[in-house]
């Protein structure tokens, strides 16, 4: 294929010769494995033993390339990290692509190659896929859906409804990096920066946590809606209240200052490489130790505590010792962030 000039056409999604060539020369070039090449209507998996978790997510990020990642890396990290947060070792992914007519094949190749590298790093294989092409203007360059299957590492797995009063809330590092990185690359944004997304594979860190600590109640990656939204989801699911300390929440200076400039709240800005963990009070010092030993948890801190209360509210104790409620977001602050 002459990738530098070639563009995606409706025929690439027709199921004919061009679809075949796209599969053989591009998708298989990067993603080939013995399960993917079965080429049947469905992939037959080897015998698996244990309890599984499954998750699916669609990625529509704009722009498709940003400092620290691209839509391909994000589509693998997002689904792998959701499996990891459920206490599973990610095994397999499927990938569905919706391409806009006119997309340069070279851009698709960059994205697929990035998916392959990220999948390799995560130890997952992409074992089934699909490609559709829509007319110019009916989609925006490329959308990707990934579904992931993971094997639970422990019988006692973390879940959103398990937070109890007295539990401690920990975060693995600074929040809002991904949201800011994507936002400041938007063409219509006014200024651009090279601030990088934190987009990364969290399954290694999560495995350390669930295998080496007892009493892990909840794990969740604060993606869309940010830390505040993730905490509200947990408070509702567990029927508790949560108090977090503003001066303990790690936020990079750049994120803080751009948010101030734009009137955005960093607590609602997406991260794509951070894990929020809730654990019993007895286990929290040990957990902090385990997290800080991992390269993606070096800046882990305790940011708050679960308390009883029927309001299912999340409170922020501010630097000036006041308290404010972190309300659920009413409208999407930053659309198409993932």
The residues of the shown chain that bind Mg ion, judged by CB under 5 A, are 82, 221
* 292 close to 298: Cβ distance less than 8 angstroms: yes
The smaller minimum CB distance to Mg ion, of residues 234 and 264, is found at 234
Distance CA 94, CA 90 (A): 12
The smaller minimum CB distance to Mg ion, of residues 101 and 221, is found at 221
Q: How far is the CB of 269 from Mg ion (least distance, A)?
A: 15
Distance CA 100, CA 134 (A): 5
Where are the alpha helices (H) located in 45-104, listed in sequence order? 71-85
Q: How far is the CB of 271 from Mg ion (least distance, A)?
A: 10
Q: How far is the CB of 227 from Mg ion (least distance, A)?
A: 12
Q: Which of 185, 174, 173, 194 is nearest to 266 (CA)?
A: 174
Distance CA 338, CA 178 (A): 9
Residue 282, φ and ψ in degrees, nearest 5: -65, -30
Q: How far is the CB of 221 from Mg ion (least distance, A)?
A: 4
The smaller minimum CB distance to Mg ion, of residues 86 and 131, is found at 86
Residue tagged 């070279």 (tokens)? 106
Distance CA 104, CA 102 (A): 6
**DSSP, res 111:** H
The smaller minimum CB distance to Mg ion, of residues 61 and 103, is found at 61
Q: How far is the CB of 324 from Mg ion (least distance, A)?
A: 25
The smaller minimum CB distance to Mg ion, of residues 31 and 209, is found at 209
């Amino acid at each position: 294929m002459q990738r530098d000039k070639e563009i995606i056409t409706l025929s690439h999604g027709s199921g004919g010769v061009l679809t075949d060539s796209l599969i053989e020369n591009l998708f298989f070039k990067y993603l080939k494995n013995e399960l993917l090449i079965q080429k049947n209507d469905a992939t037959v998996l080897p015998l698996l033993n244990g309890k599984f978790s499954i998750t699916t997510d669609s990625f529509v990020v704009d722009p498709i390339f940003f400092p620290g990642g691209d839509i391909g890396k994000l589509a693998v990290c997002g689904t792998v990290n959701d499996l990891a947060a459920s206490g599973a070792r990610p095994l397999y992914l499927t990938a569905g692509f919706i391409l806009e007519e006119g997309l340069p094949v070279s851009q698709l190749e960059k994205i697929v190659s990035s998916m392959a590298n990220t999948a390799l790093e995560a130890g997952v294989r992409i074992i089934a896929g699909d490609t559709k092409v829509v007319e110019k203007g009916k989609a925006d360059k490329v959308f990707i859906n990934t579904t992931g299957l993971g094997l639970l590492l422990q019988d006692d797995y973390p879940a959103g409804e398990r937070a109890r009063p007295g539990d401690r809330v920990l975060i693995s590092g600074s929040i809002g990096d991904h949201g800011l990185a994507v936002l400041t690359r938007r063409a219509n944004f006014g200024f651009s920066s090279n601030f990088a997304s934190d987009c990364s594979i969290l399954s290694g860190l999560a495995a350390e946590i669930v295998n080496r600590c007892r009493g892990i109640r909840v794990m969740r990656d604060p993606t869309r809606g940010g830390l505040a939204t993730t905490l509200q989801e947990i408070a509702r699911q567990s029927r508790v209240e949560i108090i977090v300390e503003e001066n303990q929440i790690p936020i990079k200076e750049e994120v803080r200052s751009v948010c101030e400039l734009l009137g955005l709240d960093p607590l609602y800005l997406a991260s794509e490489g951070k894990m929020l963990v809730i654990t019993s009070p007895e286990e929290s010092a040990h957990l902090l130790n385990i997290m800080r030993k991992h390269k993606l948890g070096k800046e882990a801190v305790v940011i708050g505590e679960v308390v009883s209360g029927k309001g299912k509210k999340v409170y922020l104790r501010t630097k000036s010792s006041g308290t404010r409620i972190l309300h659920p977001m009413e409208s999407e602050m930053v659309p198409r962030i993932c």
